[in-house]
């Protein structure tokens, strides 16, 4: 099956969690909005899907994935669909539910990181809410981020199969998502992460193992991997990194 991934073409964003899973699986997929409009792709194709009247189960927003006749939305939901089909989660139901629970917790952290630079409204520019962002980022780095990282460090430590992975004894999509979180946090908050990383060695070791995997390494070195930028979830504002 060839998957069609619909997401904004100029940012990593939430779509990157799905791309990493597809790349690690060696799946056949097309990033629709990044394709040429002459081939029926690009942003017009994404917007036609969002605004079309014929979809019985319309997605609210990107990312969403077309898999044959199915259209699946929401990052964690898409990964819940893909993972068992590509060996990125154990076979048993308790492990799958546990992985999904962890992915939903990662989604909570993604939202908090985003809200550190847009705490009032996504429709406003950062400069229009900078005082509030300074306060929100300070709380993120002082309270919320350590709480999340401490939790995931404990998850790795208590994994009955060893602390090399978050779920089970082999790589899962949750490991890929944690890799992306660490990479994004390093970009957005380099000063804070330089200090925090010493406290969470299992998560940092996990990041390095994922980065070294052959398919992931090839993807990271390719043009398919966009750079972090100031339009995505992880944004670098030095004044917010006053850890």
| 153-169: pLDDT as tens digits | 999 999 999 999 999 99
Are residue 105 and residue 34 in the same domain, yes or no? no
Are residue 102 and residue 150 in the same domain, yes or no? yes
Domain count, the chain: 2
For residue 54, pLDDT over 90 is answered with no
For residue 70, pLDDT over 70 is answered with yes
For residue 68, pLDDT over 70 is answered with yes
Identify the residue whose tokens are 């994004």.
Answer: 184
Residue 243 pLDDT class (50, 70, 90 cuts): low
Give mean pLDDT, residues 133-154: 98
For residue 78, pLDDT over 80 is answered with yes
CATH classification of the domain holding 78: 3.40.30.10
Give mean pLDDT, residues 95-100: 98
Q: What share of the chain in percent tops pLDDT 70? A: 99
Q: Which of 36, 55, 24, 29 is nearest to 171 (CA)?
A: 24
- pLDDT computed for residue 49 by the predictor: 86
Give mean pLDDT, residues 48-71: 88
pLDDT, mean over the chain = 96
Who wins on pLDDT, 1 or 223? 223
Are residue 119 and residue 62 in the same domain, yes or no? no
For residue 71, pLDDT over 70 is answered with yes
CATH classification of the domain holding 119: 1.20.1050.10
Who wins on pLDDT, 40 or 237? 237
Give mean pLDDT, residues 166-184: 98
For residue 53, pLDDT over 90 is answered with no
Q: What is the pTM of this model?
A: 0.96
- pLDDT computed for residue 180 by the predictor: 98
For residue 204, pLDDT over 80 is answered with yes
- pLDDT computed for residue 56 by the predictor: 82
Q: Yes or no: say if 160 and 210 are a contact pair by the CB < 8 Å rule.
A: no
Are residue 112 and residue 173 in the same domain, yes or no? yes
CA-only gyration radius of the chain, Å: 18
State which residues form the domain around 226. 93-241
Structural domain ending residue among the three candidates 45, 65, 85 = 85
Are residue 31 and residue 56 in the same domain, yes or no? yes
């Amino acid at each position: 099956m060839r998957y069609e991934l619909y997401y904004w073409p100029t940012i990593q964003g939430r779509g990157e969690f799905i791309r990493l899973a597809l790349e690690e699986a060696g799946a056949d997929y097309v990033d629709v909005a990044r394709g040429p409009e002459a081939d029926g792709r690009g942003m017009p194709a994404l917007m036609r899907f969002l605004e079309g009247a014929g979809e019985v189960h319309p997605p609210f927003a990107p990312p969403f994935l077309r898999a044959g006749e199915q259209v699946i939305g929401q990052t964690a939901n898409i990964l819940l669909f893909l993972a068992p089909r590509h060996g990125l989660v154990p076979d048993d139901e308790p492990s799958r539910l546990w992985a999904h629970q962890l992915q939903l917790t990662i989604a909570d952290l993604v939202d908090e990181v985003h809200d550190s630079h847009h705490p009032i409204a996504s429709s406003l520019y950062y400069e229009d809410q900078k005082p509030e962002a300074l306060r929100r980022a300070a709380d993120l780095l002082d309270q919320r981020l350590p709480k999340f990282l401490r939790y995931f460090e404990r998850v790795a430590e208590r994994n009955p199969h060893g602390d090399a992975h978050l779920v089970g004894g082999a790589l899962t999509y949750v490991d890929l998502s944690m890799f992306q979180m660490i990479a994004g946090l390093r970009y957005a908050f380099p000063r804070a992460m330089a200090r925090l990383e010493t406290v969470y060695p299992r998560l940092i070791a996990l990041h390095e193992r994922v980065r070294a995997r052959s398919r992931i390494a090839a993807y990271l070195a390719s043009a398919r991997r966009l750079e972090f930028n100031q339009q995505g979830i992880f944004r670098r504002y030095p004044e917010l990194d006053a850890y």
